[in-house]
Every structure is written in structure tokens, then in C-alpha cells.
Chain A
Amino acid sequence: MATETEYVDAGEAVDFRNLSPGYVGSAPPVTKGLGYDRILKARDAEPHNWITYYGAYDGQRYSPLDLINTSNVKGLTPAWVFQCGSMGMHSGASTYSLEASPLVVDGIMYITGFDGWMWALDAKTGAELWRYHRASPYDVRLCCGNVNRGCAVADGKVFMTTLNAHVIALDATNGKLVWDQPYGDVRAGESATVAPLIVKDMVIVGSSGGEFGVRGHADAFKLETGERVWRCYMIPKPDEPGGDTWPAEGEPWARGGANCWTTPTFDQELNLLYFNTGNPCPDFDGGVREGDNLFTNCVVQVDPDTGEKKAHYQYTPHDVWDYDSTMENILFEMDGRKCSGHFDKNGYFFVLDRTDCSLIRVVPFVDRITWGEIDSNGKVTPRVFPDKEGDPVHFWPGPAGAKEWTHAAYSPKTGLFYAPVQDVGATATRRRREFKESIPYWGAGVAVDTEDVAGYLSAIDPATGQEKWRFRNEHPMTASVLATGGDLVFAGDPAGIFRAFNASSGELLWQYTCGSGHHSSPSTYTVDGRQYIACPVGYGAWTEGFYPGALAQAGGSAVFAFALPE
């Protein structure tokens, strides 16, 4: 019948974005000429922008902007809201979440979403200037949801990673693809969620896949062409430095983990990247990988020119609690000393001398720590861990940690760190299993507590390790913190409430209910002399891991831009 039918010509399928009212299709060339030199001076030279993931290379998530401050923040209201929605059958259909930090360059916002979305928005109005949607395989292995943490901008381009482990460069004026480099093996369980970092003439990225037994790595590509510059595997081979911290038998190093799924920080003077590495594999079964398992759960100094590892500090040697150390290492100065601050999943706050990664101070920052103890010299004593096959063991913090990847902030104005804290325990039962590529490789059954949980936003003095103030929340705090020159600290929570606090006292000054939980990294900027606080909202991801009590929290896909009335 079909061959006899006189068909109507349906034509050529069109780009779906052209069916979106108000879609512009282009953006001003604001990132042309934006390069390494500008990013180095980002905070001081152009505080109206937020041009790199943490706002600056030091990872402080601090903006000196003070138009919104303690005296007027109570007047903050939404200036605009951008909604992206979820369409069709996509991977992680129940776990999509907005986790990005919006970048802003001279009035143009660049932000990634779940499932391969990238948007350029008018930062003043929220109008969609252009979009790019990377088709993501439905079956890509994702341990922790359909998410992406953001983009990088430089040299007229926008850079992002894709769920199926590519790094791509887009033309910043129209979203068209410039180059595309696969840098991970999806058949092995690798994926990519990290926000790239521009250093010199390179774009730096890292791997995801820590629950699938992959060998974690960081990669550098030429930002102009996508040509590979280096790869740095974080698990050494047996004959490499650190190789003796793994069993000699078999190939545990080839499946050992240490993924780099959050953005590193960077010290230009020392010419060092500070990578944050993930858990060893299998997560909970240490019996198949005796030893310290370097360089899992570490901060690792890496030479950005060669990809060579320099010094390191391991926060949890021989981890059997899934205590990734992928959360940021914030660079700051203290008494003339170059330091880094790091809140680890294991519940301890570490201050290091970042020139050589030596320990200056370690203190607990969460109330309940039962897995073990770290003394003031950094000596680790494990106490409770999944050891015997089939024997359930309960410990605090759970595998999402006392602080997850969501970032702390540091205010040079107050000299305080601000950390989102999760006081949540879990039970793990060791179940040894055979390694098979692409199959989850945990080595345990794990159930995270749904009751007797708490959360807080803590202000901590790195000079003493003392907590200066605490905002207690009935829910774990699962979103990044933003500190500003207006003596304010902003933080969202799983119930959807976005709050502003006095940075010195912790007094709650303002709050707004956004309708879905927060699991992203807000940023701030000004356009035409008006300051905005940009906050992606939309709960999901690895909720069963960091707060299963919020599994039924409404999904969402909005970017709020808050401002004072004009």
C-alpha cells in the first residue's frame, strides 16, 4: 500500500529551538578577548562578572559586590525566572537536577543544565539568546543523576562536558559546535559532569564514574583546537610513585577510582592545579585493595603545563566509607602563609600549607562522626567500617559525607569559611562482588538514614578551627554557599528555601521559597549598576545518597535571578 500512496511532502525536520517563542539565536560577542589574563584578575578587575566556575581561581566563591547588603537584602525579589523543563525520555529520567554555577560576562549568562543543555541568557531579563542540546544516550551510566556543574568561557567560546564524556567547545555568539573531543569510555562506566576550567591556553576537565571501577583522570586540551595536551591518571601503575599502595596481584589500579568530578582550583604563582580526587573502587570493600590506595581521596597538586603530579595529601587513606575528597580545596592566605581549606566527606575540616600539602590544622565540623577519628596531627584511626561479609554496619557521616560536592565559601572580609553541612548516617553491608566493566562496583549494600538527620550552615575560623556561628536547619544543607562583600552569605536547602545570612553573625536576614530544592552553586553579578543573585533550582541527582528524606521533593528546572527593586 505504501508504495502506491501519494504522499504529502513533510519536508526536512527543523531545529526544535526555533519553535520556542522569544528565542533569539545569537548573543553579543562578550567573550571575545576573554582569556587567561582576565580570569587571573577576575574578582578585582571585573567584579561585575562571574567568569569562571568558582568566581575566581582560588575557589572562594566570594564576590566583592556589595550593592545588596545586610541593610537592604530584605527587599530582594525575583527579577526574572528562566525555566527549561524536561522533555521526552532522557537518561536519569527521575534524577535530573540543576547543579551548575551560572557564569556571567558583561550582561550575558552562560549556564548548563541536565541532559546536555547549555544556554546563553540575557542576564538582565532572562531572555534565551541561544541554546545547545547535546543528545545524551539514554543508557549512559550515571552514578549520581543526570547533572552537569557548569561551563567555562574564553576566547569567544563556551566549553562544557557531556554525560557521555566529551568536552566540547561552542561558539559563544550562537552556540554552534566548534570542536568536540571524547575523553572517557562510556562502555567502562565513565561519564562527565565537571565544569571545565580554563588555564593558560588549555581547558581542564576530569572524569566521573567512581561507582563503576574506572581509573580516574584529569585531562587538558588546547582551547583553540581541542588537541590533547596531557592526561593525568590519578591511580599510579605498580611501578609509579604510589603504586605500592595497591596490591601487587591483579590489576586493582586499573579500576581503582580517584575520579576528578569537581573543578580544581589553581594558584598562578605556584603554577599548580589542586585536583580533588574521588573514592577508591570498590567503594566499601577494602579487602580487595589493601593499602592506602593513592591517590584516591586526595588533594593532588598537578603541574598545568605537563600534567605531572607534584605533592598530595590524602584525607582518608584506604577509604571504605565512600568518602570522596572531590569537594573543593579553597585557596586563601593566613598569616602570610599560602593555605588551602577543605571540608571533607569524612567530617573533618583540613587547613593545609598549599606549597607542599602539609597539614596545618584538622578539626571536625559535624556533630556526629563514628567511622573513625583523625587526631590533630592527622593520624587516622578507623573504628567502624564494613568488614565482615553480610554484617550491617552503621556509621556517621554516610557516604554522601558531612559535606558533599556542593561548595563552601570563604570571605576574605570576615576571614571565615562557610560550609553546607549534612549530618546524615548510613548502614553499609559488605557484599563482595566480581568486577565487570560498566556494572556498579560498590562491594556493599547501602541504605542512608531517613530519620534522625540534620543540617546546618557553619561559619568556621580557619585560624582556630572554631565554629563562629551555626544556622541549624531541619534538613541537611545540600547546596553551595555564596559569600559577598555586602557581608552576606547565601545558601539554599532541600525544601527549596533560599536564604541570606549576616556573614559575621549568622543572623537570618531574608528567605524565599523557590518551589524545588537547591543542589547548585549560586553566583552574583551586576548589569547596568544593578546587582543580581543567580540561583539554579531543581532537586534530584543522588538524593538517595545525600538525603533520601527528600526523594519526593518536587523536581524543577528554573534559574532565579534575584535583585532589589529598581
Chain B
Amino acid sequence: MAATVDESVIEGLAKQNGVTIGRILGRGNVGVAEEGSDGKMHGTVRIPLDELVFDPGVLVLPHAGTLELEIINDDNNSHCAVLPCNGDAKFIWLVNFSKGRATLELDGPGYYWYGSRTGNDEGGGLTGTIVVGGEVPDEAKPDRPPQPRP
């Protein structure tokens, strides 16, 4: 039997130095990448001042493909990002108040974690996710009737 959770506990998990030392992973805002006329998807994530998170923490791609990602560090500390990409991860160093870009190729469906590998930023909250929605192509599953899903 668990005790009733006080609202302050929930709030304290979603900030720096609340209940946890950092911010517990998997929380934050959800954003959706926009699909451009070139077929590529475009998205932006920021690192807000003193929050040690990527915002949005969850960036959703409607389908597999190319993501043109802008990353903005609005924090007064240096961070970085090791980003998922087919072929090899992409790395970008982000000094205080900097802005950079990454071009990422990702399969779907599924989701990928990424993080800032400096100073245990990853544990402190600077671990984000890129979610790729959609279904696998029909040619990957020929002649299989639809099955019940959860």
C-alpha cells in the first residue's frame, strides 16, 4: 500500500533540486517536428536557463526520415548533445548562449534517447527523446493479417 502522493512531490520531480537532485527523466514538454516541402522534418530544442533540460523533452517525428534539428543553448553553462543518427551519432558542443544544427536520419517507429554527456548532464535532466511515429512499410510485413494490439 502506497501513501497518497502529495502534489509537491510530483512538482519536485520535474525541477532541479526538488525531490531529486536533478530532474527526473522522461518529463517535460512534447513538441512535434514540422514537415517541410522538401520532405525533411524540422524541429527545435532549447536548453532553458538553469533548468538543465531539453525543451521540448520529447520531440515527435510523424514518420521515419531526415530531421533538420536546431539546438539552442539558452543556459549560462556549456552543454553538448550526442544525437542518434543512422551511420553514426552526431556530436555538437554548445557553449553558453550558442545555437547549432544537426541533420539526423532515423528509422521508425520507435524512440531514441539523446543527451549532453558533460558533467553528468544526462543524469541531471539533459536527456531528451526523439520519437518516430508511424508504421513499418507494408513490404516489410507481406501477407500477415492485422492482429489485436494492446
Contact = CB atoms under 8 A, between A and B. Distances in A.
B91 A14 contact: yes
B149 A88 contact: no
Contacts of A139: 110-111
Given A5-B74, A135-B86, A177-B87, A185 B141 contact: yes
Contacts of B117: 88
A12 B102 contact: yes
Interface stretch (B12-20, B33-41, B76-84): B76-84
Contacts of A134: 86-87
Contact of B97 (A7, A135, A176): A7
A10 B71 contact: yes
A185 B144 contact: yes
A199 to B, nearest CB: 21
A15 B109 contact: no
Nearest to A170: B87
Interface in B40-74: 46, 49, 71-74
B139 A185 contact: no
Given A7-B97, A10-B92, A10-B99, A87 B82 contact: yes
Question: Dominant SS at the A interface?
Answer: loop
A187 B74 contact: no
Interface in A1-18: 1-2, 5-17
Given A10-B71, A87-B82, A137 B110 contact: yes
B107 A137 contact: yes
Given A10-B92, A16-B90, A89 B115 contact: yes
B136 A187 contact: yes
Interface string B105-135: 1111111111101000010000101001001
Nearest to A434: B148
A139 B141 CA distance: 19
B97 A186 contact: no
Contact of A13 (B49, B102, B127, B148): B102
5 contacts: A177-B87, A185-B144, A186-B136, A233-B143, A254-B145
Interface of B: 46, 49, 71-74, 81-103, 105-115, 117, 122, 127, 129, 132, 135-137, 139-145, 147-150
Given A10-B71, A15-B87, A184-B141, 16 more contacts: A1-B74, A8-B95, A10-B95, A13-B91, A16-B82, A131-B88, A132-B88, A135-B105, A164-B110, A176-B87, A184-B140, A185-B140, A186-B136, A233-B143, A254-B145, A437-B148
Interface of A: 1-2, 5-17, 19, 87-90, 131-140, 162, 164-166, 175-177, 181-188, 213, 215, 228, 231, 233, 251, 254-255, 434-439
